């Protein structure tokens, strides 16, 4: 069974919480002229150097900012600031692109009066376009930490239709700890890091290695479980900064409340991941696929991703068509083996398929369920206790419209 994080700790969600909610973080955004009007540059600043860790795209073409951010963190597993630009992804930009990423890092560090290697950089936008360095330089110089012109979570968006952010609070060592996050989607979203940038901050004190392990575990069950169109981009990155302002005892795997931290981190990552899936390009519905009874969790994960990634399942959900055949079919070509005679499947509470055969069901009820803005596809196999959840969205006319003319 998919390992559940066990903890007695209770969590509360912070109203309108975001990446700036934990103590000691200043975040913001502004327009620096990359776009005509919308904010196009965002930043995160911690009043003190924070333990830092990242997870990066698996795409062989890894954009310059990812290389530079990894170099920053490699120095002492810390970051104090992160700079994000849109419009240019600074990917496939050769040595000039890498030089530019280092230069913007230096400008940001200089502006904040901190060492270069405490700055991380992230870019999103068109591939193959160099950064507009004159605008980047002026923009960085204009950053006013206490008077941001726009929220960070708005400044990092591309084709997203809304900002994505949340924060949770809980206690560790009797101290109030906050974990906040913001992210952007929304095309090219696929397991193993897609065109998405995720930023998580916390005022908890966390040992860097433990933080890195925790982030990887959380990302595997959240950001790596979402798909919009199966394309994995060159720029995807999730960063976490933990600045210790909550004054808990340093968290690591030995800390008695480590599970509480893991759970909080996973809650934030899952919330952000679901926001991205629901706001996939052109999406009208969030799809959640639950697989249980697989021979193990890995098998369940593969099957869940196969279903949520199927264009035919996605179009059927868009059309509110209770087309269980496409779900079954996607299970069958997942590459996992199982006894097809033990497979069952439901849409919400409406069972469509049982023990390898379709069953009579109330079409009206199924259609009504599919007309909602969140659809849960449940499948069970009779193989074991493996389970997994994956998220995605429907495939619509607007997906095609958005992507047939993105560059222009």
> Which residue, 143 or 317, has its beta carbon nearer to a copy of itself?
317
Q: Is 15 annotated as a binding residue?
A: no
SS3 content of the chain, % helix, strand, coil (to 5): 35, 25, 40
Minimum CB–partner distance for residue 184 and a copy of itself (Å):
17
Read out DSSP for 4-73?
PPP-----EEPTT--TT-STTEEEEEE--SSSSSS--EEEEEEEEEEEEEEEE---SS--HHHHHHHHHH
Nearer to a copy of itself, 48 or 311 (CB): 311
Site string for a copy of itself, 353-372 (x = CB under 8 A): x--xxx--------------
Q: Does 330 bind a copy of itself (CB under 8 A)?
A: yes
Q: Is 24 in the site for a copy of itself (CB under 8 A)?
A: no
Q: Are strands 164-172 and 12-13 parallel, antiparallel or unpaired?
A: antiparallel
Q: Residues with Cβ < 8 Å from 267, sequence gap 6 or more?
A: 11, 168, 179
Does the protein bind a copy of itself through residue 337 (CB under 8 A)? Answer: yes
Strand pairing class (226-227; 237-242):
unpaired
Site string for a copy of itself, 107-146 (x = CB under 8 A): -------------------xxx------------------
Shortest Cβ 153–a copy of itself spacing (Å): 25
Which C-beta is closer to a copy of itself: that of 94 or that of 110?
94
With CA atoms as reference, report the closest residue to 196 among 207, 204, 208, 188.
188
Tally of CA atoms within 13 A in the half-sphere of 315 that contains its CB: 7
195 is catalytic: yes
Is 384 a binding residue for a copy of itself by CB under 8 A? The answer is no
Q: Per rule CB under 8 A, is residue 332 in the interface with a copy of itself?
A: yes
Find the DSSP H helices in 156-296: 208-220, 258-278
d(CA 158, CA 160): 5
Catalytic residues: 195
Interacting residue ranges for a copy of itself, rule: CB under 8 A: 58-61, 89, 91-94, 126-128, 187-188, 190, 192, 229-234, 309-312, 315-316, 318-319, 321, 323-326, 328-333, 336-338, 340, 353, 356-358, 395-397, 399-401, 403-408
């Amino acid at each position: 069974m998919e390992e559940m994080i066990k903890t007695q700790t209770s969590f509360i969600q912070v109203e309108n919480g975001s990446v700036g909610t934990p103590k000691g973080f200043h975040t913001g955004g502004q327009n620096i002229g990359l776009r005509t009007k919308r904010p196009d540059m965002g930043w995160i600043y911690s009043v003190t150097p924070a333990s830092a860790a990242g997870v990066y795209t698996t795409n062989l073409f890894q954009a310059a900012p990812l290389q530079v951010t990894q170099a920053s963190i490699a120095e002492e597993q810390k970051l104090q600031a992160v700079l994000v630009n849109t419009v240019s992804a600074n990917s496939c930009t050769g040595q000039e692109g890498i030089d530019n990423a280092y230069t913007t890092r230096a400008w940001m560090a200089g502006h904040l009066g901190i060492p270069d290697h405490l700055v991380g950089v992230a870019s999103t936008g068109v591939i193959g376009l160099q950064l507009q360095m004159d605008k980047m330089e002026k923009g960085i110089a204009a950053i006013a930490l206490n008077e941001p012109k726009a929220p960070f979570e708005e400044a990092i968006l591309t084709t997203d239709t809304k900002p994505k952010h949340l924060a949770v609070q809980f206690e560790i060592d009797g101290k109030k700890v906050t974990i906040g996050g913001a992210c952007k989607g929304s095309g090219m979203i696929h397991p193993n890091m897609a065109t998405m940038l995720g930023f998580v901050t916390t005022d908890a004190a966390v040992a860097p290695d433990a933080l890195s392990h925790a982030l990887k575990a959380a990302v595997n069950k959240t950001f790596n479980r979402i798909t919009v169109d199966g394309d994995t981009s060159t720029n995807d990155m999730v960063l976490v900064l933990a600045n210790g302002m909550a004054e808990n005892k340093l968290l690591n795997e030995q800390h008695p409340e480590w599970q509480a931290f893991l759970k909080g981190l996973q809650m934030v990552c899952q919330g952000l991941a679901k926001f991205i899936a629901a706001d996939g390009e052109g999406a009208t519905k969030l799809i959640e696929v639950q697989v249980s009874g697989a021979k193990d969790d890995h098998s369940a994960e593969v099957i869940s991703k196969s279903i949520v990634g199927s264009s035919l399942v996605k179009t059927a959900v868009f059309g509110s068509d209770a087309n269980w055949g496409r779900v079954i079919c996607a299970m069958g070509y997942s590459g996992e083996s199982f006894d097809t005679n033990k497979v069952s499947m439901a849409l919400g509470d409406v069972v469509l398929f049982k023990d390898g055969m379709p069953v009579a069901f109330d079409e009206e009820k199924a259609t009504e369920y599919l007309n909602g803005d969140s659809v849960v596809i449940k499948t069970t196999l009779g193989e074991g206790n493996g389970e997994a959840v994956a998220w995605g969205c429907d495939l619509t006319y607007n997906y095609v419209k958005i992507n047939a003319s993105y560059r222009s």
